[in-house]
Amino acid sequence: MLFQCWSQDTRTFKVFQFPSNKIPTIDGKADDWKMVPENYTVGMDQLWEDSGKHSKANPKNLDVSVKVAWVKGLNRLYFLYEAYDDYWDFSLPGLHNDTFEVIVDADQSGGPFIDRFHPNPALTNTMDAYFSYHGVHAQNYHIFTPAEGKDWTLVWGSQPWIKELPYANAATHYNFKAGESGKLTLEFWITPFDYAGNDPSRAVESILEENKNIGLCWAIIDYDDVNNEKNNGFWNLSKEHTMYGNASYSLPFKLMPLEKQFQKEINAKWTFNVIDKNKRTVAFINHSEGEIESYKWNFGDGNFSSEKNPVHEYKEAGKYIVVLDISGPKGKSRLSKIWDVAVK
C-alpha cells in the first residue's frame, strides 16, 4: 500500500459548532447530531490501515464514522463515534480491547509528547519523563469500545484526572456481547489542555476560538481474536503511524462558525473592560454579528456614542445599565446589560 509522507498531507477537517441552545446530551445516542451536515463526517475513506493487514476498507469487517463539534464559549471538543464491527473484542480487563485512540494538540504546539519519544536520551522511558512530559502539552485518549468493566478511557500519561468530570464525559450504546458483531455509538466530550501535568491545580486549558485550527488525530485499533495479542488493523487518520505520540503528525481541524441556518441576521453582542479604575474608564468591545450600519451606545449616565468600540469615562461611582442598539439592512437588535458595568 502506497503512503504519502506527512509533509504532503494538506487535508484540513472541520469541527461543527453547536448552537448554545442545542448542546448535545451525552447519552450514547446520535439524535442530537442529526443537525450536523454530512460534510463534517470523517469516514473510513479518510483512514489508512498502516500495518499492511488490509489493502482497503471493508465495511463488512469494520465501518467507522466520526463527527467532531464544539460550542463557542466552552473549551470542549464533542465527538460522535459510530462503528460497525464484525467482531467486538472487549472481554479482557487490560489493554487488549477494540479502541478509538484520539490525540489532541489544541494549540498546535507540535512535537513528541510521550516518554519513549523524549528528545533527551537520558530521560527516554523514565518515570521522570512520564510525570513531567508524557501527555503534558498534547493528550492521548485510548478509548475502549466498549469499555465494559473498565474506565471509559485510558489517558496515556500522568494526568488521569482529565477523563473525569468536570473535564470529560462519555456514554456508549450497544446491544452485542463480546465476540459478536453489531453497531456501537459512543458520544463524549473532552477538555484539551495547553498544559496538563499530574497536578490539576497547575493545568492550563486550551482556549477554543472560532476559525482557529487545532491539532487532532485518531486511530481505530481493531482486535478480532481474544486469543491473539496482535490486532487485525490499525486504521490511522494520519499518514504517520507514530502520531499517537508525536503531535506534529496531527492534522488541522478548523473550529467552524455557526452554519448559516443557525445564525441570526443581525445580533447585538458586546463585552467591556475597566482599563483605569482610578479614572473610571471603561472600554466597550463590540462583538455584534451581521451587516451593521449604525451603533448607538447608551452608557447609562446620560452619555451616548455612535462609535463601534467606544471608550467612556464615568464621572461618578455606581452601577450602570448599558445598552447597545445596532441597525442594518436586515433589521435591528439590542443588548442591554444591567449593572454589569460597575465603577467606584
Q: Cell numbers of 270, please?
A: 458586546
Per-residue model confidence (pLDDT) at position 128: 96
Dist. CA 273–CA 291, nearest whole Å = 25
**Closest to 115 measured CA to CA, from 97, 127, 99, 100:** 127
- Residue 48 to residues 1, 159, 238, 240, Cα–Cα distance (Å): 9, 29, 8, 9
- Taking the CA of residue 298 as centre, how many other CA atoms within 13 Å lie in the half-sphere pointing to its CB? 14
We report the CATH number of the domain holding residue 44 as 2.60.40.1190
Per-residue model confidence (pLDDT) at position 342: 98
What pLDDT tens digit does each residue of the chain (344 aa) get? Answer: 333 344 468 899 999 999 999 999 999 999 999 999 999 999 999 999 988 899 999 999 999 999 999 999 999 999 999 999 999 999 999 999 999 999 999 999 999 999 999 999 999 999 999 999 999 999 999 999 999 999 999 999 999 999 999 999 999 999 999 999 999 999 999 999 999 999 999 999 999 999 999 999 999 999 998 888 889 999 999 999 999 999 999 999 999 999 999 999 999 999 999 999 999 999 999 999 999 999 999 999 999 999 999 999 999 999 999 999 999 999 999 999 999 999 99
How many domains, in total, are found in the chain? 2
In a domain, 1, yes or no: no
Please indicate, yes or no, whether residues 281 and 241 belong to a single structural domain of this protein.
no
- Taking the CA of residue 176 as centre, how many other CA atoms within 13 Å lie in the half-sphere pointing to its CB? 20
Please indicate, yes or no, whether residues 95 and 167 belong to a single structural domain of this protein.
yes
In a domain, 156, yes or no: yes
Please indicate, yes or no, whether residues 99 and 11 belong to a single structural domain of this protein.
yes
Dist. CA 343–CA 330, nearest whole Å = 35
**Full residue range of the structural domain in which residue 230 is found:** 6-255
Please indicate, yes or no, whether residues 107 and 47 belong to a single structural domain of this protein.
yes
Bridge-based pairing of strands 139-144 and 99-105 is antiparallel
Please indicate, yes or no, whether residues 220 and 324 belong to a single structural domain of this protein.
no
We report the CATH number of the domain holding residue 313 as 2.60.40.10
Please indicate, yes or no, whether residues 198 and 270 belong to a single structural domain of this protein.
no
Per-residue model confidence (pLDDT) at position 36: 98
Please indicate, yes or no, whether residues 207 and 337 belong to a single structural domain of this protein.
no
In a domain, 317, yes or no: yes
Full-model pTM:
0.91
Q: Cell numbers of 227, please?
A: 486469543
| Helix and strand totals (H; E) in the chain | 1, 24
Rounded to the nearest 5 degrees, what angle is found at the Cα of 236, between the Cα atoms of 234 and 241? 80
Rounded to the nearest 5 degrees, what angle is found at the Cα of 50, between the Cα atoms of 49 and 53? 65
Domain end point (choices 224, 255, 286): 255
Q: Cell numbers of 214, please?
A: 487545532
Please indicate, yes or no, whether residues 167 and 101 belong to a single structural domain of this protein.
yes
Give yes or no for a contact between 236 and 243, defined as CB atoms under 8 angstroms apart.
yes
In a domain, 200, yes or no: yes
The single-letter DSSP state of residue 129 is H
- Residue 276 to residues 134, 273, 301, 311, 337, Cα–Cα distance (Å): 42, 9, 18, 11, 20
Give yes or no for a contact between 16 and 69, defined as CB atoms under 8 angstroms apart.
yes
Dist. CA 155–CA 133, nearest whole Å = 14
Please indicate, yes or no, whether residues 156 and 206 belong to a single structural domain of this protein.
yes
Domain end point (choices 231, 255, 279): 255
Please indicate, yes or no, whether residues 287 and 217 belong to a single structural domain of this protein.
no
In a domain, 112, yes or no: yes
Per-residue model confidence (pLDDT) at position 8: 63
Q: How far apart are the first and last CA of the chain?
A: 70
Q: Letter for the amino acid at 257? A: P
Dist. CA 50–CA 48, nearest whole Å = 6
Bridge-based pairing of strands 62-70 and 13-17 is parallel
Q: Would you say the C-alpha torsion 152, 153, 158, 162 has a positive or negative sign?
A: negative
Which are the contacts of 322, defined by CB distance < 8 A and separation ≥ 6? Answer: 272, 284, 297, 298, 299, 300, 336, 337, 340, 341
Domain end point (choices 229, 255, 281): 255
Please indicate, yes or no, whether residues 70 and 187 belong to a single structural domain of this protein.
yes
Please indicate, yes or no, whether residues 171 and 268 belong to a single structural domain of this protein.
no
Rounded to the nearest 5 degrees, what angle is found at the Cα of 40, between the Cα atoms of 156 and 262? 115
